[in-house]
Amino acid sequence: MNTLAFLADPAFAGFLAASMRLAIPIMLAALGGLFSERSGVLNIGLEGAMLIGAFVGFVAAYLSGSLALGVMAAVIAGMAFGVILGLYTITLGANQVVVGIAMNLLALGVTAFFYRLIFGSGTQSPRVDAFTPLDLGLLADIPLIGPLLFRQDILAYIALALILAAWFVIAKTRFGLNIRAVGEHPEAAETLGVDVFHIRYAAIAISGSLAGLGGAFLSLSATGIFIDNMTAGRGYIALAILILGRRHPFGVLLAALLFGAADALQLRAQLLPTGVPFQFLLMLPYVLTIIVLAGFVGRDGAPAALGVPFRHSRSGET
Give per-residue pLDDT as tens, 35-62.
Answer: 999 999 999 999 999 999 999 999 999 9
Query: Does a structural domain hold residue 5?
Result: no
CATH number of the domain that residue 213 is part of: 1.10.3470
109 lies in which domain range? 16-120+138-312
Query: Does a structural domain hold residue 100?
Result: yes
> pLDDT category, 291, cuts 50, 70, 90?
confident
Query: Does a structural domain hold residue 131?
Result: no
Give the per-residue pLDDT at 2: 58
How high does pLDDT run on average in the chain?
86
Number of domains in the chain: 1
Contacts for 212 with CB less than 8 Å, ≥ 6 apart:
49, 50, 52, 53, 56, 57, 74, 75, 76, 77, 78, 79, 81
259 phi and psi, to 5 degrees?
Answer: -70, -35
Task: Report DSSP letters for 85-148, one per residue.
Answer: HHIIIIIS---HHHHHHHHHHHHHHHHHHHHHHHH-S-SS------------GGGGGSTTHHHH
Query: Does a structural domain hold residue 93?
Result: yes
Give the per-residue pLDDT at 79: 96
Query: Does a structural domain hold residue 116?
Result: yes
Rounded to whole angstroms, how far apart are CA atoms 55 and 51? Answer: 6
- The 10s digit of each residue's pLDDT in 131-151 is 988 877 777 777 777 777 887
Query: Does a structural domain hold residue 128?
Result: no
Query: Does a structural domain hold residue 11?
Result: no
